[in-house]
Structure 1
Amino acid sequence: PTIVQLGIYINSFYAISEQTMDFSLNLYLRQQWRDNRLQYDKKDNNGQDKLKLGDGMWDRLWTPDVFFRNEKKAAFHVVTTPNRLLNLHSNGTVWYVSKITATLSCPMRLHKYPLDTQDCPMMFESFGYTMEHIIYKWLPSPVQREKGLELPQFRLVDHSLNDCSQNYTTGAYPCLEVRFILKRDIGYYMIQLYVPTVLIVILSWVAFWISIDAIPARVTIGLLTVLTMTTQSTGARTQLPRVSYIKAIDVWMVVCLIFVFASLLEFAVVNVFSRKEIRQTRRSSFRKRTMPRDEEIALEQVSISCDCHRLLTSQN
């Protein structure tokens, strides 16, 4: 079998999407293999070991049929000229480089979102040649990247190399895989999510220091904070796919909403007990006002009964 060595040079990472669960990158795909039919004598090339082949030779030579197994879409760069390089060495070794922009699927686990780390694969597989004809191996230093490469919301922490060869009904096909370890940066979410929700919760607690008689002010603060927190929660969910499991951001938003709702509920409870206490106070004050009058009536009745008793005694 022909040994084909693979390697990549990453120009840029961009468009890492949680909604569509994919990522896009721009890279140089490097391939190297040896074809003994292409050996030549250095003397025929002015003693040079390397011969650069022109554009017309690309379609006349055999090249591996490598493709991205987890590809959603990909394209070669052709502006202003096809971005391909083909070098031939005297021993028949072919060095083939092409510039590609690819969008690849990345099944994401969002349980810890936005404090998550994603593991996104890039799989190179032969489309038509089985392992009886081709064997894939990595080049020395197979994964290189542009110096100062930055991602919008992630950091490229590390990568790992694996063999992903798989058996199909038509045979066993060679496959190599590089997995990118991407850690999400928390800065954006601190500014857009965590800090605003904390401030909303603190604002809802301001109602505790407002007089209980200021019902419009306390109700307004409670309702506004509840509605604002609901809007924040809805906005956070619109950036994510509709997964069935609970995410860390869901727990945070629910806890904040509970605190905000509890402050509104506290006002309702305090208002009920306050009105109950007012009614009891009024009843007790009413009783205190009516008790002297009742005592006067009782004394008058006693006095009348005593006078009647004396009158009857004198008549007898």
Structure 2
Amino acid sequence: MWATLTVTCLLINALLGQSTPTSFCVSGLCLPMDYNKLEMPPGRNDIKIELTILDVLSVNDKDFSISVYAYLGIRWPEPRLIGKNGQKLSTYSDERLGVPITVDPAFLSSVWVPNIMIVNVKSFKPLSEMKPQQALWAVSESNGQFGFYYVQGCIISFYCPMRFDFFPLDAHICPLQLSTNYNNEHVFFSETILNDASKSRNVVLEYSLQIKKIPDGQRMLATKTLGNYSTTGVEFYLERHKLKYLSIYFLPSGLFVVVSWVSFLIPPDQVAGRMSMLITLFLVLVNIFGNITSTMPNTEGVTAISGWMIVCIFFVFGALCCYAFLLWKMKPTFYLKKHERTPEDIKSKHWQRVKFDDWCFMIFPIVFVLFNIAYWAICLNTPPSEEIAIRQPFKTVLTEA
């Protein structure tokens, strides 16, 4: 009899649209009896990502990674939520719909949560002190239904496919992309809400940094067999600070090359002074080159600064070769006895040596200036946008959602 009465009451309530049986309630939000957290809400779910970047902790050139301190916010709809009495939440008052409802984050274990994946992630460390730094709210959507907004404090480390061919004049575009295992027929990401507070950061980096939203043309991942997947996120525009390298490496090495030209003004018979100066400059440049190669990032070929140092070393080596040629030309004169040397021979040999040094003193600076014009024109006028295809972890295409 009691069972019949219970079933009758439930049928009456269902027909009148007054209530639906509930299984679990928190903060006035309830789940229906037939709720299954393994099933996503019907239709296409629009997910919003809000990324608040508080600081960029490190840019590691050795393992090609970036670490950021951020708060990651995820907002998704959940139209299956009901009130305590079983009524739809859309029938609540306007004040109820407009104010976020604070919910204990433990409620997430009972509801469907979108599986958010970070592309090229190295590590994801949730922040926690006495308790994890996380929060959950129930918020109203534009269609009058409710959804969830979850925020998690975290340290995200992700890989960036950097290329150091132009080191230390390099620039990089590093995407931090988020996606999901549902294709865009079921889940679609809206444009990321970016809150960049990293300008007041406490960490000193080797790069100047700009953070921008990923362009629309790169917010869809296309696959041949599984369909298209919506993505979202931000891009880190990194440009290395050049002044330190210009003052420590480029300027001194260039001045050493200029100083080596003074050797063309020293008389060739001053072997000790001219040779010691050139050898000293040569060894100093080799030592600087060794320090650079031991500290610069891994690369597949010659970097910009390596090429610069090699050219500087060859310029000093060229001055050494010119002096060696003069010594070779002077050798027959040295072996002649004093009474065998005629004034005409001495004058002719001396004039040839002076003329050769004068030619070297003109040619070396001209070639070095031409090299500088070509070098800096190539290194400073190569924007990172030309290498986006190399740096992107996968090929993306824009597809109509």
> Structure 2 CA distance, aligned partners of 1:209 and 1:286?
25
Partners of 1:123 and 1:164 within 8 A in 2: no
Give the corresponding residue for 2:183: 130
Give the corresponding residue for 1:19: 62
Equivalent position to 1:70, from 115, 120, 130? 120
May I ask how many residue pairs the two structures share in their alignment? 284
Please identify the structure whose Cα radius of gyration is greater: 1
- The offset of 1:143, in angstroms, is 4.9
- The offset of 1:189, in angstroms, is 0.8
Give the corresponding residue for 2:194: 142
Partners of 1:9 and 1:146 within 8 A in 2: no
> Structure 2 CA distance, aligned partners of 1:266 and 1:74?
60
- The offset of 1:280, in angstroms, is 5.6
Displaced runs of 4+ in structure 1, greater than 6 A? 45-48
Give the corresponding residue for 2:396: none
TM-score, length basis structure 1: 0.77
> Structure 2 CA distance, aligned partners of 1:71 and 1:145?
22
> Structure 2 CA distance, aligned partners of 1:80 and 1:204?
65
**Are positions 1:108 and 2:162 aligned together?**
yes
Alpha-carbon spacing, 1:106–1:215, altered in 2? closer, same or farther (3 Å): same
> Structure 2 CA distance, aligned partners of 1:216 and 1:66?
72
Structure with bigger strand share is: 1
Give the corresponding residue for 2:355: none
TM-score, length basis structure 2: 0.62
User: C-alpha offsets along residues 43-76 of structure 1, whole Å, 9 cap, x if unaligned?
Assistant: 7x98982221224323233222112111122211
Gaps in structure 1 of 5+ consecutive residues: 289-316
Alpha-carbon spacing, 1:158–1:28, altered in 2? closer, same or farther (3 Å): closer
> Structure 2 CA distance, aligned partners of 1:249 and 1:110?
10
Partners of 1:165 and 1:176 within 8 A in 2: no
Alpha-carbon spacing, 1:287–1:190, altered in 2? closer, same or farther (3 Å): closer
Give the corresponding residue for 2:329: 273
Give the corresponding residue for 1:30: 73
Give aligned-pair identity as a percent.
Answer: 21
Q: Which amino acid is 2:59 matched to?
A: I
Gaps in structure 2 of 5+ consecutive residues: 1-43, 84-88, 345-401
3-state SS of 2:190 partner: strand
> Structure 2 CA distance, aligned partners of 1:165 and 1:229?
49
Partners of 2:172 and 2:237 within 8 A in 1: yes
Alpha-carbon spacing, 1:76–1:285, altered in 2? closer, same or farther (3 Å): same
> Structure 1 CA distance, aligned partners of 2:173 and 2:82?
42
3-state SS of 1:135 partner: strand
3-state SS of 1:37 partner: coil
- The offset of 1:214, in angstroms, is 4.3
User: C-alpha offsets along residues 170-203 of structure 1, whole Å, 9 cap, x if unaligned?
Assistant: 5543322422222221012112211231233244
Alpha-carbon spacing, 1:24–1:280, altered in 2? closer, same or farther (3 Å): same
